[in-house]
Amino acid sequence: MADTILKVENLVSTYGPITALKGINLEVKEGEIVSLLGSNGAGKSTLMKSILGMVTIGEGSSIQYNHDGQMVELIGKKSHQIIPLGIAIVPEGRGVFINKSVEENLEVGTFFRKRPAARDKELLDTVYQTFPRLKERRKQLAGTLSGGEQQMLALGRAMMADPRLMMLDEPSMGLAPLMVAEVFNVIKNVREMGITVLLVEQNAKQALKIADRGYVLTTGEVTQTGTGKELLADESLVAAYLGAKK
């Protein structure tokens, strides 16, 4: 049995007067792809931001992260303390720095993980191999890239961080179908690189197909969980939350 890399227990998160997460329990094991599904406003992005220490978290919550074999409590830490532990995120809406070149954007990923410079080079090669488009456009400003290319850039930037856990927030949003397929392919590659993946998606079918396990979030609560296959097979679920049909 693989080790647990992330364990969320009884997570309550609030935005001012609004309680966005009402006691979430969730576990991610090393090497897994875990998909987090749910409609708009279900709290998926809030969960990611909670893990990164960017929202207010209620008492009794716990987010444990396995850092070099030791479970570390992330609550109370700030994002700049959490990222160096080996967590990287591909933010919703990609969040690339539009005034910076592709190269500069990728470099940001390397800022807060200590490792030999040779590893940076190695990772850059991997990223350029995965996304030849980025290499062609490495001097271009990120703002001039197409939406799909920006998504690749955000993925590449996260890969540059050499993370142990990569969180992706709706990476297929607003992309053309061909590009969506490519993004999901890359996510599979990422796992093959030995990176654990926590994937937030509205594109439920695709997300469940590549996932080992999934969680369904409804208005701040986990309403269903199971392996990717189980969830895919559950027709009522697919119909109710996941917008069914191909």
| Interface contacts to another protein, rule CB under 8 A | 52, 54, 78-80, 82-84, 89, 91, 93, 95-100, 104, 107-109, 111-112, 141, 143-147, 150, 157, 174
Q: Which is nearer to another protein, 95 or 226 (CB)?
A: 95
Beta carbon of residue 97, minimum distance to another protein (angstroms, whole number): 6
CB-nearer residue toward another protein: 93 or 226? 93
H-type alpha helices, the chain:
44-51, 79-82, 102-110, 117-130, 132-136, 147-160, 177-192, 204-210, 228-233, 235-241
Tell me which H or E stretch contains 90.
Answer: strand 87-90
Find where tokens 């998504």 sit: 151
State the minimum distance, in angstroms, from the CB of residue 100 to another protein. Answer: 7
Closest CB to another protein among 197 and 208? 197
Name every residue whose Cβ is closer than 8 Å to that of residue 85 and which is 6 or more positions away in sequence.
65, 67, 72
- For the bound state, the minimum distance from the C-beta of residue 53 to another protein, rounded and expressed in Å, comes to 9
* Host H or E run for residue 125: helix 117-130
Least distance in angstroms from the C-beta of 104 to another protein: 8
Question: Toward another protein, which CB reaches closer, 172 or 224?
Answer: 172
- Closest separation between CB of residue 14 and another protein, Å? 15
User: In whole angstroms, what is the distance from residue 88 CA to residue 82 CA?
Assistant: 9
Q: Please state the closest distance from residue 116 (CB atom) to another protein, in A.
A: 16
Backbone angles phi, psi at 243, to 5 degrees: 65, 25
Strands 70-73 and 62-67 come out as antiparallel
Instruction: Give me the residue label for tokens 């709290």.
Output: 43
Looking at residue 2, the DSSP 8-state letter turns out to be P
By beta-carbon proximity to another protein, the closer residue of 106 and 222 is 106
Q: Name the amino acid, one letter, at 62.
A: S
- Of 97 and 128, CB closest to another protein: 97
